[in-house]
């Protein structure tokens, strides 16, 4: 377990150093590319194209890396449950509301993990209702944003995504009263304010 934590910590430090230098590490891209090539070589006829496999694996590895790094930090600070709640609520609202996407997967993992870790660390007992109100206002005006090309789900209209996004925040505001969910929803709502020039993929 100690070796595992040390390995994750060393990789995270490398990502931070390269990120601050403005250099591209592309760890996630390299892993997804190698995995896609391996799967393609096993069964070239019945598998999807290399590009589709690579893109799908990149999304999966992105999510796994964020969850893994965040949960390790959550256990270290003694708040694994709060951290898990933040991850789930953030990802759920992001699915319906959309938001800013970083160009590179490694940058996405680093920033998302740091955000969740910060939210877990600064979690307070009394979160003002203002955060919920601001979240609802932002979602009403901007959600959904930049999700069509990512999720490719024509069955759900923008109005439905907006309704679901606002409903998630409202339900927590009026009935659940979870501080972890409140700050997670607010942080995700703020990503709608950032212009999204280019999405991953």
The predicted pLDDT at position 167 comes to: 97
Per-residue pLDDT at 127 exceeds 70: no
Q: Please state, in angstroms and rounded to a whole number, the distance separating the CA atoms of residues 187 and 183.
A: 6
The predicted pLDDT at position 109 comes to: 85
Per-residue pLDDT at 157 exceeds 60: yes
Per-residue pLDDT at 201 exceeds 50: no
Q: Please state, in angstroms and rounded to a whole number, the distance separating the CA atoms of residues 187 and 107.
A: 17
What tens digit of pLDDT does each residue of 174-193 get?
A: 999 999 999 999 999 999 99
Per-residue pLDDT at 25 exceeds 60: no
Helix H or strand E segment including 21: helix 2-21
Q: Please state, in angstroms and rounded to a whole number, the distance separating the CA atoms of residues 86 and 187.
A: 10
Q: What are phi and psi of 4, to 5 degrees?
A: -65, -45
CA distances to 14, 54, 59, 72, 119 from 68, rounded to whole Å, are 16, 21, 14, 6, 16
What are the respective helix, strand and coil percentages of the chain, to the nearest 5? 75, 0, 25
Q: Please state, in angstroms and rounded to a whole number, the distance separating the CA atoms of residues 112 and 142.
A: 21
The SS3 of residue 45 is coil
Mean pLDDT, range 111-119, rounded to an integer: 88
Mean pLDDT, range 140-148, rounded to an integer: 84
Least confident range from 58-62, 143-147, 177-181: namely: 143-147
The predicted pLDDT at position 96 comes to: 92
The predicted pLDDT at position 175 comes to: 94
The predicted pLDDT at position 195 comes to: 76
Mean pLDDT, range 126-134, rounded to an integer: 83
Mean pLDDT, range 191-199, rounded to an integer: 73
Q: Please state, in angstroms and rounded to a whole number, the distance separating the CA atoms of residues 96 and 149.
A: 13
Share of the chain above pLDDT 70, in %: 78
């Amino acid at each position: 377990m100690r070796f595992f934590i040390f390995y994750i910590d060393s990789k995270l430090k490398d990502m931070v150093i390269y990120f601050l230098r403005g250099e591209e590490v592309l760890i996630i891209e390299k892993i997804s590319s190698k995995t896609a090539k391996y799967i393609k070589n096993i069964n070239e006829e019945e598998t999807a194209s290399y590009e589709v496999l690579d893109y799908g694996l990149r999304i999966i590895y992105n999510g796994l890396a964020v969850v893994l790094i965040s949960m390790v930090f959550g256990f270290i600070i003694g708040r694994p449950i709060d951290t898990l709640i933040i991850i789930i609520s953030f990802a759920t609202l992001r699915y319906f509301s959309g938001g800013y996407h970083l160009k590179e997967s490694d940058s996405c993992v680093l920033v998302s993990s740091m955000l969740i870790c910060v939210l877990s660390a600064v979690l307070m007992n009394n979160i003002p209702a203002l955060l919920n109100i601001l979240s609802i206002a932002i979602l009403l005006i901007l959600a959904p944003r930049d999700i069509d090309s990512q999720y490719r789900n024509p069955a759900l209209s923008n109005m439905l995504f907006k309704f679901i996004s606002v409903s998630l925040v409202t339900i927590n505001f009026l009935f659940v009263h979870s501080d972890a969910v409140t700050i997670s929803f607010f942080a995700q709502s703020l990503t709608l304010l950032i212009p999204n020039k280019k999405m991953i993929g």
